[in-house]
Structure 1
Amino acid sequence: MTLSDIDFPTPGEGDDCRVVREILDLVADKWSLYVIATLKDGPVRFNELRRRIDGISQRMLTITLRGLERDGLVKRTLFATIPPRVDYELTDMGRTLFTPVMALVTWANTNQGSIQRARVRYDESQGVRAGQPAQ
């Protein structure tokens, strides 16, 4: 597949570009990637998700799960037990997202050194000191 084989929405033609951008923003969100990866092997309870995803707050996990559920990528199941139990799992559509997401993660891992070196070269060419953001 080449870029010419992909039907990219053209900016300014309807809402396609905006809708695609919104979906990509959700999926590329820092926490969404962790949630998707954590749910890849099956249902997980809320508190277990929180323990497995280092650094996520209860509020941010709730917001992330709601967004993924709203978009049909995650399914929430409430069990009428005492105390109530809630499980989250990827939907069929959510499972189809796992492979491309992991391909992007693999690409980032493979290229992180090259990207860091490119940043250093660029910053040096712009006279930016180490540790300072480029303007």
Structure 2
Amino acid sequence: MSENVLELPLDVTATRPVLEHIANKWTVLILSVLCTQPARFNDLRRRLDGITHKALSEALKRLERNGLISRKVLPTQPIGVEYTITDLGCSLREPFAALYNWSLANGSAMEKAQRVYDTTKSNGGFDENI
């Protein structure tokens, strides 16, 4: 049997909850930042162009709840909070790097496919799913 993950039996019940927590753009980007060094909330917000205060706050709470990051209150004035990636979070480094590298290698091919699709659909292309 091949090691290809796509050939393994699909256990949606076991994998879906995990994938829902780790397979979104903010999780990947937040953990990528924290892999290099701990960061405070506003530092993360500055480094993650486009994330809203609410989206970052919710993502950080979700990541902490899932054991992927830890939160430490700093004894400063005003009180600060620093986020650090955990060992469990660091274990995602290799799969995230593979996904990142795949994105770099295949992003232009996907954009080309999107243009072809959009051109075909806008020219009255037949959609066999309808």
> 2:91 and 2:115 mapped to 1: Cα distance?
36
Q: Does 1:71 align with 2:66?
A: yes
After TM superposition, give the deviation of residue 74 of structure 1 in Å.
0.5
Q: Secondary structure at the match of 1:55?
A: coil
The aligned residue for residue 13 of structure 1 is none
Q: Which residue is 1:91 aligned to?
A: 86
Alpha-carbon distance in structure 1 between the residues aligned to 2:43 and 2:6:
41
CA separation in 2, counterparts of 1:3 and 1:46? 38
Q: CA deviation at 1:5?
A: 9.8
Structure 1 residues 119 and 69, CA, compared in 2 at 3 Å: closer, same or farther?
Answer: same
How much is the aligned-residue C-alpha RMSD, in angstroms?
Answer: 2.5
For residue 7 of structure 1, report the CA deviation from its aligned partner: 5.3
Which of 105, 115, 118 lines up with 1:120 in the alignment? 115
TM-score (norm 2): 0.81
1:129 and 2:130 correspond: no
Q: Secondary structure, in 3 states, of the residue corresponding to 2:83?
A: strand
Partner of residue 50, structure 1: 45
How has the CA–CA distance of structure 1 residues 118 and 91 changed in structure 2, closer, same or farther, with 3 Å as cutoff?
A: same
TM-score by length of 1: 0.79
Q: What whole-Å deviation, never above 9, does each CA across 1:32-64 have from its counterpart, x for those lacking one?
A: 111011111121111111111111111110100
Identity %: 33
For 2:57 and 2:41, locate their aligned partners in 1 and report how far apart those are by CA, in whole Å.
9
Q: How many residues align?
A: 124
Q: Structure 1 pair 113/39, CA: closer, same or farther in 2 (3 Å)?
A: same
What is the CA-CA distance between 1:119 and the residue it aligns to? 3.2
Q: 1:106: which partner in 2?
A: 101
The 3-state SS of whatever aligns with 2:73 is: strand
Unaligned runs of 5+ in 1: 11-16
